[in-house]
Amino acid sequence: MNREKRLQIFEKLSEAIPEPKTELNYTSTFELLIAVILSAQATDKGVNKATAKLYSIANSPEAIFNLGEEGLKEQIKTIGLYNAKAANIIKTCRLLIDKHQSQVPQTREALEALPGVGRKTANVILNTAFGQPTIAVDTHIFRVGNRTRIATGKDVLEVEKKLIKSVPGQFLLDAHHLLILHGRYTCIARKPRCGSCVIESLCEFKDKTES
């Protein structure tokens, strides 16, 4: 895909999605971090339901740590993999208190050193909380990148690297949410909604007969 076509794609996506932002609810960087950790293999809707309950009683590293692992499990048990997530979150809170003055660190290295935080989660925090031009490639972005041919790759890291190189500079900060929201509501996994897609004429997806 050439540079001009990519530019047109992101221009159209930004017009269709004028406020590209996460659908996770949060009021602080710490709340965002916990929500993103919880969102692995879970829906944003499900996470928001759980965090509304959790944050009403504990929304700081100290408060969540004081709940203890069992207490935290009780608050997030509606979310998949809640046992492992609770264990990681308690460990993360301990590290934030001990090593970061209860603040979420602003570097990839420090973020990825937190239990339950991998490259994708770190990218979300760096982009959404700290305004860095990172792209967290989830299943939606991986699908959109490969299907449209904006950025193809056999794994998420390959797609991420290609997106960072190929997304027009003026859209790099918002590309993460533009692509996620497009994949979540239009370029869906089964039967993509090509007929209502604002970039259909620019997309290089070959099998539109199923739409």
Write out pLDDT tens, residues 198-207. 999 999 987 5
User: In whole angstroms, what is the distance from residue 131 CA to residue 185 CA?
Assistant: 24
3-class DSSP state for residue 112?
helix
- CATH of 3-20+134-210, picked from 3.10.180.10, 1.10.1670.10, 2.60.40.1120, 3.50.50.60, is 1.10.1670.10
Which pLDDT belongs to residue 1? 81
- Domain segments of the chain as ranges: 3-20+134-210, 29-128
| CATH (residue range 29-128) | 1.10.340.30
- Would you say 91 and 100 are in contact if contact means Cβ atoms under 8 Å apart? no
Tokens at residue 78, please? 């509606």
The alpha carbon of 197 is separated from its chain's Cα centroid by a whole number of angstroms, namely: 22
Which pLDDT belongs to residue 172? 95
CB environment 50-65: b (16+ within 10 A), e (fewer): bbeebbeebbbbeebb
130 φ, ψ (degrees, to nearest 5): -115, 5
What's the whole-model pTM score? 0.91
Active site residues: 120, 138
User: In whole angstroms, what is the distance from residue 47 CA to residue 23 CA?
Assistant: 10
User: In whole angstroms, what is the distance from residue 100 CA to residue 85 CA?
Assistant: 21
What is the block-wise mean pLDDT of the chain (211 residues), using blocks of 10 residues?
Answer: 93 96 97 97 95 97 97 95 97 98 97 96 97 95 96 96 96 96 95 94 73 41
Tokens at residue 65, please? 């740590």
206 CB-near residues (< 8 Å, 6+ apart): none
Nearest Cα to 32, choosing from 169, 154, 125?
125
Which pLDDT belongs to residue 33? 98
Which pLDDT belongs to residue 131? 96
Containing 9, the helix (H) or strand (E) segment is helix 3-16
- Would you say 92 and 117 are in contact if contact means Cβ atoms under 8 Å apart? yes
What is the per-residue DSSP string for 118-142?
-HHHHHHHHHHTT--------HHHH
3-class DSSP state for residue 166?
helix
- Would you say 147 and 186 are in contact if contact means Cβ atoms under 8 Å apart? no
